[in-house]
Structure 1
């Protein structure tokens, strides 16, 4: 018997299929409690690798023999070592997550969200980070919304649809992951749009100058709806009056946190006004497609993507849409003490264009879950 590798893609399929799986995570306890591979029918045991160097005897009676076991570490090396010990002790169906949590953090999978005679929309789920990005295809052209830095994924997806990427938009200056906007624009020649008020120093098309972005043979309205609060320049993109790409302003289960710029009260006030004016004008039938999710199991819908009708989001999060202003501001201020995205200041500096790092550093900066939501269902 030998250790079998399981890729991030294969493990994601097991999550989506709600398979039963036993996870032996050999990272430090703090890393495990902060961030792990989550599955509805997964069971877990977290034992730091250094406790198993002399053998797996202390945990042998805790490892099931009637189902698959996946060992996980940060980059794949330690988990293989532990998995090999399990195999030597006679355990079968032992797998090791190839390249560990680093690979889990970087994997994207694609799912179709919407299609009519004019457009086709895909969602890219970065399941290890809770980050969401999108591709809108119309008449041989493609628009990418909030791209991750793994730009080949979008180029490949566009080619599969017989389309060329011509437009790229970022809803705001991201704080938990590095944007692929400039990389994708440079490689494809597409126009890259961002709010000037976000303070980026590289070349881009300022969204303040556009009321809509039009495609070739079909007029595909992408209205930049200014929805400040998460950041001062946050926008949402309203496509054909049917789809709202809400960035980090509205999630399926909450709102974007407005405390990352050290102006909690001011930005919370903007967020309140956004929710009670701009969003209040949008009909319940519009499909909201957010930039992140907080809990995969509860937010993925029966069609297999993260998103919902605005009417359902209003019902699910009724309190955040009806709370009086002063109470709303106080609640946001209280939640501002929660843990901020790790390394967010460095990530913002990179996304603004004032700092440059190599790929290895990008990987290290992005490790961990997203923490962009401040207000969830109560």
Structure 2
């Protein structure tokens, strides 16, 4: 009997429900350590595929007989072979359909807030730590920081019975390919991006975000901060919704601040980030809910199922958000950025419209975790 397959959606539902899940990841150890499925209740072990070819019975000692084992590999093929071998030995097994490739393309929408005039939904692309948003009001929708799988946003808009009217990228993304321009082309919506992010490129049609302090979505004004919030990039712009929700891009995370080094000007951009934190954002209330575009750890998903925290809580838990000494702030933020996102220069070129790639090439470029959500605690 063929080993059954489990979809990414089914696996996530089990993890999310707190079910007992045991994952056997058969990729090589380096790939596993760099990027793996995460969950608060799951157990997992990494035993490379090749170890199961050695016919060494000791390899099975780490595997439970009483629990179903979900076997995971890069694209599903190797996992199928291992799962069949385990099945013959009496283990209960299933295979993650499409492997980590499928997991990297799974999106989980969570409603952050709903009321008479406005609904705010966070779409969590768990494998990448990427977050995007749909703001709904009066039959219209604003999408912020869409990833490249635009069918996810179109399907959500259809379920919510709304028309996508506005699309914003808070900045030029470096770790994943934006779906903003493609989604705009498909839906007829207007695509907004700060013109300083494009560096004079005319390869991509967009509306300069800095020319639109306020956008109307149904009955709600999406208030773009009058002063941009640079630091992660020079044109980074946060979106203030209904004076209550700050869609902060990669400027402010639940665990800290955005990295300023991807343009090769870490100290200069860190100075801009200082001004953003202690001048622009300082004017916002502690009660404002910060909703970022990335997260670095599954623990950042709160008890309500979304990634977000009040500005007051972020200020209280991150010393760097309280350190008003400009030089000390600059040294700490500029010096703690870590490894750059893989392929980030090519991804930036794609997001500017200067490089064209196939869907298969795009998938290869994005494989792996995000590296934009560096924490400065």
Category of TM-score, reference length = shorter chain? over 0.9
**TM-score of the two chains, using structure 2 as the length reference:** 0.96
Separation in 2, partners of 1:327, 1:249 = 18
Give a deviation string over 1:27-56, Cα, whole Å, max 9, x none.
Answer: 111100000001222222212212222446
> Is this contact kept in 2: 1:2–1:87, CA < 8 A?
no
Indicate which of 209, 215, 218 corresponds to 2:217: 215
RMSD over equivalenced CA pairs, Å: 1.4
Q: Structure 2: how far apart are the matches of 1:10 and 1:177? A: 24
Aligned ranges for residues 161-310 of structure 1 at < 5 Å?
161-199=160-198, 200-201=201-202, 202-216=204-218, 218-224=219-225, 225-296=227-298, 298-310=299-311
Query: In the TM superposition, what is the alpha-carbon distance from 1:318 to its structure 2 partner?
Result: 3.5
> Using the alignment, how far apart are the partners of 2:373 and 2:126 within structure 1?
16
Answer whether contact 2:224 2:237 (CA < 8 A) is retained.
no
Say which is worse superposed, 33-42 or 165-174, in terms of deviation.
33-42
Instruction: State how far apart, in whole Å, the 1-side matches of 2:236 and 2:320 are.
Output: 22
Q: Deviations over 1:147-193 (max 9, x none)?
A: 01111111111122221001000000000100001110010000000
Q: Distance in 1 between matches of 2:308 and 2:5?
A: 32
Distance 1:57 1:219 in 2: 63
Alpha-carbon separation, structure 1, partners of 2:222 and 2:369 = 33
1:375 aligns with 2:340: no
Quick one: distance in 2 between partners of 1:161 and 1:45?
A: 39
Displacement of 1:374 in angstroms is 2.9
Per the alignment, residue 99 of structure 1 pairs with 98
The residue that corresponds to 2:59 in the other structure is 59
Query: TM (normalized to structure 1)?
Result: 0.95
Q: Distance in 2 between matches of 1:369 and 1:150?
A: 17
Conserved? CA contact 2:68–2:91, under 8 Å: no
**Contact 1:332/1:375 (<8 A) preserved:** no
Contact kept in structure 1, 2:259 and 2:372, CA below 8 Å: yes
Using the TM superposition, give the Cα deviation of residue 109 of structure 1 relative to its aligned residue in structure 2, in angstroms: 1.0
SS in structure 1 of the partner of residue 287 of structure 2: coil
- Superposition deviation, residue 108 in structure 1: 0.3
Conserved? CA contact 1:56–1:85, under 8 Å:
no
Work out the CA distance in 2 between the residues paired with 1:17 and 1:253.
25
How many angstroms does 1:221 deviate by? 3.3
CA distance in 1, matches of 2:44, 2:315: 35
Give the length in aligned residue pairs.
373
Contact 1:275 1:321 (8 Å CA) reproduced: no
Query: Where do 5+ consecutive residues of structure 2 fail to align?
Result: none
- Cα 1:11–1:85, aligned 2, differ >3 Å: closer, same or farther? same
Measure how far apart 1:332 and its partner are: 2.2
User: Structure 1 CA distance, aligned partners of 2:109 and 2:56?
Assistant: 38
3-state SS, counterpart of residue 79 of structure 1: helix
Unmatched 5+ residue regions in structure 1?
none
Residue aligned with 2:24, SS: strand
Partner SS, residue 53 of structure 2: coil
1:55/1:85 contact within 8 Å kept: no
Query: Where in structure 1 do 4 or more consecutive aligned residues deviate above 3 Å?
Result: none
Match of 2:134 in 1: 135
Q: Give the Å deviation of 1:222.
A: 2.6
Q: CA deviation at 1:70?
A: 1.1
1:345-368, Cα deviation, whole Å (9 max, x unpaired): 111110011100000011000000
Quote how far apart the aligned CAs of 1:323 are. Answer: 5.1
State the Cα deviation string for residues 281-319 of structure 1 (Å, max 9, x = none). Answer: 1001111111011111x2111211111111111112134
Once structures 1 and 2 are overlaid, which stretch shifts more, 72-81 or 323-332? Answer: 323-332
The separation in 2 between residues aligned to 1:186 and 1:55, in whole angstroms, is 54
Describe the SS at the equivalent of 1:220: strand
Matched, 1:116 2:150: no
Encode CA deviations 1:128-151: one digit per residue, 9 max, x unaligned: 100000001110111000001111
Partner of 1:314: 315
